[in-house]
Structure formats: structure tokens, C-alpha cells
Amino acid sequence: MHLPFRHSIARKNLMALTGGFLSFFLLIHLAGNLQLLLPEARAREQFNLYAQLLSGNILIKAISYGLYLSILLHALYALLLALSSRKARGGQAYVYDHRRQASPWYARSMGLLGSILLVFLAVHMKDFWYVYKFTAIPLDEHGQKDLYTVVATAYQEAWYVLLYVVAMIALGFHLLHGVKSALFSLGLYHPRYRLWAKRASTAYAIAMTAGFCLIPIYLYFTQNPA
């Protein structure tokens, strides 16, 4: 098979660009979704309006196709790299192996963390994106599709909230290594900014995990008063 980006560094560039684009999207996605934390009536009106605005916008549409493509390419090249890595390791494994002492577990487990994310994305898209786009859902009092109720109802279930929290922790660790690593892969790295690049990517990973965990947890507890 003669895929573009045959070179291992070029492949890592592609992983970094697609991963970086997805990471940038997450920032916007979280900012928009924080509207779900508003008082119920306000949140319903504003969030539904926001959803309608986005789904009607041609620019947003173009960006969303970019996102789907990024996820596909990112996952595809992750798989290709994993296969070549397996081949490079060779047939005979170390009999006695303590290599894990030399690097953090999450940096070695990007494939596993990414696979969790892929499963999560499938569930997430099916339950919200597909339901909003392709099924008839009730309208709110302003005549907009009531996505707020779909989301809020989903988070009434403890197991569903737990699924989100687990996936977001996987996301957090994927980003903790991923963002820093993406800067490296693109060659955008300078010893002078080493500390700042590390701090910024750590802060970003924590903020994304905390933000995306907060929404389902908040909606669970406001709808299931003790």
C-alpha cells in the first residue's frame, strides 16, 4: 500500500497536526458547553439556540468535516505507526523487563488511551450528534430542537456519567503527553521554552479534563437531589 506520509517523521507531523487541531477544537467545544451549567431555563434556551446556530453555519460545517477527517487520519496513522513499531521491536521480547522505570506510563499508552477515546467518540456522536441531526426530537418553547433536554436526561444516569468521567480521564492523560509531544513532533521546541511548553500543556490537559467532567457531574447532581 502506498500511502502518503511514508516517512516516520512525516507521519508524526500528521499525527501532531491532526491531534493539535482536535485539541484546539476541544477548547471551543468546552467553552460552548459550559452554557449547560447555567440555571435550567436559561441554559435550555441559550444552549438550544447555540446548537441551532452552529448546525446552520456553513463555516462550522466545513470545520466539522475537517474534524471528522482529522479523527480518521489521526487514528489511521496511529495504527500504522503502532504496526511498524511492533515490527521494529522484533520477535524476541525481553525476558526480564523493567523499562517502565524510564518513562511515564501514559506516554507509553497513547494507543490504549486513544482507543478508549475512539470508543467514547462513537458513543458520544451516536447519543447527541446523531440524535440531534437525524432524529425528530421535541421542540422547546422557542420552537428550537431541545438538545438541552436530550443531554440533561442522558446525565441522569450514574453509569453514563461514570462513562464520561473515565473517558475524560483518558483524554486528560492522552493530552498530557500529546500536546507536549506534538510540539516536539513538529520541531516547535526550544530549550528556553521547555518549562513553559510543559506547564501550558499540563494546564491545558487538566482544564479540559476538569471542564468536561464537571458538566455531566453537575447535571447528575442537580437532577438527582440527595
Partner 1 sequence: MKITLYIWRQDNAQAKGNMEKHALNGLNPDMSFLEMLDVLNEQIITAGGDPVEFDHDCREGICGQCGLFINGRAHGPLAATTTCQLHLRHFKDGDTIYVEPFRAAAFPVVKDLRIDRSAFDRIIQAGGYVSARTGDAPEANALPVPHRTAEQAFDAAACIGCGACVATCKNASAALFTAAKVSHLAMLPQGQPEREHRAQAMSAQMDEEGFGHCTQTGACEVECPQEISIAHIARMNYEFNRGAILKP
Site residues, ligand HEM (CB under 6 A): 12, 15-16, 19-20, 22-23, 26, 71, 74-75, 78, 81, 110-111, 114-115, 117-118, 121, 174, 178-179, 181-182, 185
Distance CA(176)–CA(202), nearest Å, equals 6
Contact between 130 and partner 1 per CB under 8 A: no
Min dist. Cβ of residue 38 to ligand HEM (A) = 25
Judged by beta carbon distances under 5 to 8 A according to partner kind, the member of partner 1, ligand HEM, none in contact with residue 74 is ligand HEM
For residues 164 to 203, the per-residue mask of contacts with partner 1, x marking binding by CB under 8 A and - elsewhere, is -------------x--xx-xxxxxxx-x--x---------
Q: DSSP secondary structure string, the chain?
A: ---S--SHHHHHHHHHHHHHHHHHHHHHHHHHHGGGGS-HHHHHHHHHHHHHHHHH-HHHHHHHHHHHHHHHHHHHHHHHHHHHHHHHH-SPPPSS--GGGGS-HHHHTHHHHHHHHHHHHHHHIIIIIIHHHHS---B-TTSSB-HHHHHHHHTTSHHHHHHHHHHHHHHHHHHHHHHHHHHHHTT---GGGHHHHHHHHHHHHHHHHHHHHHHHHHHHHHHS--
Closest residue to ligand HEM, based on beta-carbon distance: 114
Contact between 138 and partner 1 per CB under 8 A: no
Contact between 49 and partner 1 per CB under 8 A: no
Contact between 84 and partner 1 per CB under 8 A: yes
Contact between 57 and partner 1 per CB under 8 A: no
Residue whose C-alpha cell reads 444552549 in the numeric block: 47
Judged by beta carbon distances under 5 to 8 A according to partner kind, the member of partner 1, ligand HEM, none in contact with residue 135 is none
Contact between 1 and partner 1 per CB under 8 A: no
Residue whose C-alpha cell reads 467532567 in the numeric block: 213
Min dist. Cβ of residue 56 to ligand HEM (A) = 25
Min dist. Cβ of residue 176 to ligand HEM (A) = 10
Q: Binding residues for partner 1, per CB under 8 A?
A: 6-13, 81, 84-85, 87-99, 101-104, 107-108, 110, 177, 180-181, 183-189, 191, 194
